[in-house]
Amino acid sequence: MSSVHAAVLALQGSVEPHLRSLHASGVDPIEVRKPEQLAGVTHLIIPGGESTTLHHLFKLHGLDTLISDRVKEGSLALLGTCAGAILMGHHPDQAPPRLGLIDVDVDRNAYGRQVHSFVDQVEWNEGPGPGTSEGVFIRAPRFTRIGDSVNVLARRENETVAVQQNRCIACCFHPELTTDPRLHRWFLGL
């Protein structure tokens, strides 16, 4: 992993838990807040948080176009959890605007409000699996359309909760809030 330079987008959201998971996976990640900090980064995590706020901060700091361009040229692997997954996907009828990096439509807060948050088992088909792991769903989004070129990585009760397209992974849950670093380790190998 000497050629892996991992980072967490540290504008808002679940930054520290992702940093811990990356450390547990054997890398020394950095925090990215400005475009120049993205130079040399090969693997970036967009954490859960509040998607409208994250989108606003992307635009404010000029990171939206830079991240999209780097992903499209193949020089950046991307993992988005919860709000990060929302921003990576599509949804023509919901705010905030999406980056369109994975061919999925993603509904915000699809499982309900904060009080409806829960922990449940996630069944991995591919990626870090096969097997199960704990999934933490906090005001979680839901994939409502999955394009033909998207791999389903994990399900919960027959519902897709993690997907991959090329070097982009999107999860409806928070893997960083568990003690299982398998997803982060697998992501670093992309």
- Is the omega angle on the peptide bond into residue 92 within 30 degrees of 0, that is, cis? no
Residue of 82, 168, 171, 172 with catalytic role: 82
Annotated active-site residue 82? The verdict is yes
Q: How far apart are CA 84 and CA 152, in angstroms?
A: 17
Beta strands in the chain (DSSP E): 6-9, 30-32, 43-46, 77-81, 104-107, 118-124, 131-137, 142-146, 151-156, 159-165, 168-171
List, in sequence order, every beta strand (DSSP E) within 82-180: 104-107, 118-124, 131-137, 142-146, 151-156, 159-165, 168-171
Catalytic residue, candidates 55, 168, 171, 176: 176
**Is residue 172 flagged as an active site residue?**
no
Say whether 184 is catalytic. no
Active-site positions? 82, 174, 176
